[in-house]
Every structure is written in C-alpha cells, then in structure tokens.
Amino acid sequence: MSDSDPWKAILQRIEDGASLIGLHPDTLRMLSLPERVLEVAVPIRRDNGMIEVFRGWRVHHSSARGPGKGGIRFHQSVSPHEIMALAADMTLKCAVVDVPFGGAKGGVQVDPTILSISELEHLTRRYAMGIASMIGPDRDIPAPDVNTDANVMAWLMDTISMVSGEAMTGVVTGKPLSIGGSRGHVGATSQGVLICTRAAFRELGLSMTGARAVIQGHGKVGGPLVYMLSSAGMRVVAVTDAGGGVYNQAGLDAALLARHVERTGSVAGFELADPLEPDRIWELECELAIPAALAGVISAEVAEKMGARLIVEAANGPTLPEADAILERRDIVVIPDILANAGGVTASYFEWAQSRQGFAWEGDLVAERLQRVMSTAFDAVWRRSRELKVTPRRGAVAVALERVGEAIEVRGLFP
C-alpha cells in the first residue's frame, strides 16, 4: 500500500485500529468509503475580465455520530484523496474528543495568493453555492482551514443565508464575533496542543521548565504556540516556515519573533537567532517537536534522525505511516493529530452550540470547557493505549473506532 496516497494511509490506520479492538467487519466496510463525495466546478471572473475555472470538493466520510464537521482549505495541492483522507480524520477526531459530529472536509484547488480580495470573495461564494446542498447546521458545518479564515467563513455564511432567506449563523464556525463567532475560538487549536503537551510531560515524568522545543510552522497554530510554550517555561529553540528557519539555543523571544514575521512574512532573517535550514529542525536534540504545517513531513528518513523525545502533532497528518514504527522503535512518543489538534473542532462545537442556542458564552467558560474536554480525551487515549500496550496513536484510533462503531451499531442500517 502506497503511503504517499493520504486516503490509503488513513485506511491503513483505520484497518489497524479495527483489528486492535475487533471491530465488526461490516462496520469497517462502511468506514472504508466516504458516504458522499461532491466535486464542483468553481468559475470566477477575474479582475481583468477573464473567466477562470477551479475545482472544488466537499466530502462526508461518516455521519453516524452527527452532522459533518470539517474545514475548507484553499491550496494548489488540494486533491480528492486528500480531502477524503481529511474527512475520515475528522470522523476519528470528533469521536476522540467525544463531540457529536461526523467527519467532513472541503477544499478548492487554487493558489489564493494569486487572487485579489474581490476574486477570493467571488471564489468563496461560488464554491458555497456549489456545495450548498451538502451543508447546513444539522447536515455539515464547515470551518476555516489552510488559507481560509473568519472572513471566508463570513462570506460562506452570508451566501447560504441569502439563498435560504434566513440567518444561518450555525452553518459555519470560525466566524467573526460580530456575526455569532465564539470567544476563545481563535487560538483554540494551539491551546489544545498545549493542554496535551502538559499532560504528556506529566505522564512521561518530564519537567517543562527549561525543556527545549522546536516548531515547524509559524501560522495560525505554530505562531501562538511559540508564546504559549515559552510562557509555560520551555525554551523554543527553533522555528521554521515556508520562508526559512531560525535557531537560538537560549530560546527565541516569542513577541519579537512574532513582530518580525508580521513585518517580513517569514521567520527567516530574525536578527536574534541563527539561520537554520528548514529540514534540519527535526535533527535538533530537544524534548519536544511540534509539526504545525502541512501533512506528510515526518517520513521514515526523518524519523530515523528525529532528535526529540516527544512529538505533539499540531498539523493534520504530519507523520507518514512508515515513520510510526521507526519512532516507536526509537522510543519517541507521538501524541497524534486526532487528539493533539482537536482543540479547534472542540471550540467549533462550542460555537455551533452557541449559534443554536442564540446565547454567547463568556470567554472564561469556553476556556474552562476546552480544558475539560481536551484533558478527558487525553486521559482516555493514554489509558486505552496502556491497556492495549500500543502507541498513543493506535490507542486514539481505537477509542475513536469504538465510539463510531457503537453509533453505527445502535443506529442500524436504513432501509
């Protein structure tokens, strides 16, 4: 089985988890295909008057536990199998943190950096029209993902609201606060990563004070993590992004680095650190490594050189299946993406609930509930992995499949 195909990779993990817990073969068969895959053409008129057509997708993997939940990404590398894999990943992720959603995902194959703001809005609205039959507060609730943000969600929500003739605030999450967004949604993924990191350090008998961390990515998740980990007493010694990398053994200054990135667009060239080849970040000796960029960056070759004691996956699918066995052999603990970065979908659940209630929660309540959900999920995964004598990743998949399997069983098969 090819590990380069993200859909085959997630199927490998589902099949492995199914064998671990003795999942019924019929249930496995139902999870081995998405419930529905919609491909749409997304034509827009460019500012120069020409029409360009992009390809978009929305995938529902499983609705056994509730309406679909999953982000929308705008990226030139988006493909049907990538979206299918990410939708299946969301099925598992929502089950791990025990929120009442199934797995979904969407994307448009486009480089958004070539579009003006007006063109980006037209692309979003046309894509929203294309997938309108699949989304809704009780059907499928999109959220921001790679290269999409609160503005994109606002355009999507407005489009669906205009078409339906009613205010559909619950059709998306990650919205601006002014139209029903939730306090605490921004930074929730990073906060969830921090909660899991603290718990993992505790279980491994390590102290965070003075411990070294490296982070790949300085975007919506990686950027806040530099500050959060530093505030927790860690030394973030290296950060890389698409533009380059920086290294300082004494620890990077989070505020000054953030200011540099805001000014230049990359961590590269930060004056209070040495330059670092991005690929070399994994070789650095440290206690913690956080991949917070795109998928598939930890290959077998990278796993052999990994200098960290603990990996906490802030990105979706950063570790290839071929690397898992190597990391396990080298006694490197991995807190998997379906647990570690589930703070985002947990906060999305909170936002969806608030939209349905028509009542905004206080920021303290959001933070308190996020802490409780993520800590409970971590404990369940850690306990199950110890019971099964497997890695946390396999334990997390086992927990998720037990919950999804139970939902499929009690619902039965219609007709």
Total count of residues recorded for the chain: 415
Active-site residue, 105 included: yes
The residue to which tokens 């499928």 are assigned:
140
The dihedral through the CA atoms of 132, 415, 410, 389 has a sign that is: negative
Q: In 3D, which of 219, 200, 184, 225 has the Cα closest to residue 346?
A: 184
| The 3-state secondary structure of the chain, one letter per residue | CCCCCHHHHHHHHHHHHHHHHCCCHHHHHHHCCCCEEEEEEEEEECCCCCEEEEEEEEEEEECCCCCEEEEEEEECCCCHHHHHHHHHHHHHHHHHCCCCCEEEEEEEECCHHHCCHHHHHHHHHHHHHHHCCCCECCCEEEEECCCCCHHHHHHHHHHHHHHHCCCCHHHCCCCCHHHCCCCCCCCHHHHHHHHHHHHHHHHCCCCCCCCEEEEECCCCCHHHHHHHHHHCCCEEEEEEECCEEEECCCCCCHHHHHHHHHHHCCCCCCCCCEECCHHHHHHCCEEEEEECCCCCCECHHHHHHCCEEEEECCCCCCECHHHHHHHHHCCCEEECHHHHCCHHHHHHHHHHHHHHHCCCCCHHHHHHHHHHHHHHHHHHHHHHHHHHCCCHHHHHHHHHHHHHHHHHHHHCCCC
Beta bridge partners of 236: 213
Looking at 105, 220, 305, 389, which residue is catalytic? 105
Residues sharing a CB contact under 8 Å with residue 191, sequence separation 6 or more, in sequence order: 184, 228, 343, 367, 370, 374
Distances (CA, A) of 271 to 228, 248, 251: 21, 10, 13
Q: In this structure, are strands 68-75 and 102-109 parallel, antiparallel, or unpaired?
A: parallel
Q: Which residues carry out catalysis?
A: 105
